[in-house]
Amino acid sequence: MFGGSSKKVEQGPAIEKKEEFKSLVISEKSIINGNVTTNEATVINGTIEGNVTIENTLVLGVNGVIRGPVYAHVATIDGAVTGDLICKGPIKLGATAKLTGDVQCTSLSIEEGAYFCGKVICTELKE
């Protein structure tokens, strides 16, 4: 069309289908009394009273509340946790976080404004 040149375009190898990102979202008005266990990335904006085990990333929203021990791969906390928080990787406490309980993780970052009452045990990264 432009200049009359017709070049053959070579295509590279087929693009592999990416693994679907799966996540679980617990909405703000949800209240769960009991244990929660999942291997999906999880966002909690509601309330959970019980053990929480996430074999992936946990994000606790500003309005999220967990009353009970929490086990996760990594965690970002912006809501309230009353219970121990154990992660295989790092934990981030946002400015609105309120954590009362002991923490075990590879690293802990705490933003100004966060509340934390407990002790910290640092471990090496676990695969």
Q: Where are the domains of the chain?
A: 25-122
Summarised one tens digit per residue, pLDDT across range 65-112 is 999 999 999 999 999 999 999 999 999 999 999 999 999 999 999 999
Amino acid, res. 20: E
Check residue 44 and give its pLDDT.
96
pLDDT of residue 20: 53
The rounded distance, in Å, linking the Cα atoms of 113 and 96 is 6
pLDDT value at 17 more than 50: no
Beta carbons of 91 and 108 less than 8 angstroms apart: yes
For residue 28, the one-letter residue type is: E
Residue 125's pLDDT is: 66
Residue holding tokens 């799966």? 22
Q: How large is the average pLDDT for residues 33-39?
A: 95
- Looking at residue 15, what is its pLDDT? 43
Query: Residue 98: exposed, middle, or buried by beta-carbon count in 10 A (0-12, 13-18, 19+)?
Result: middle
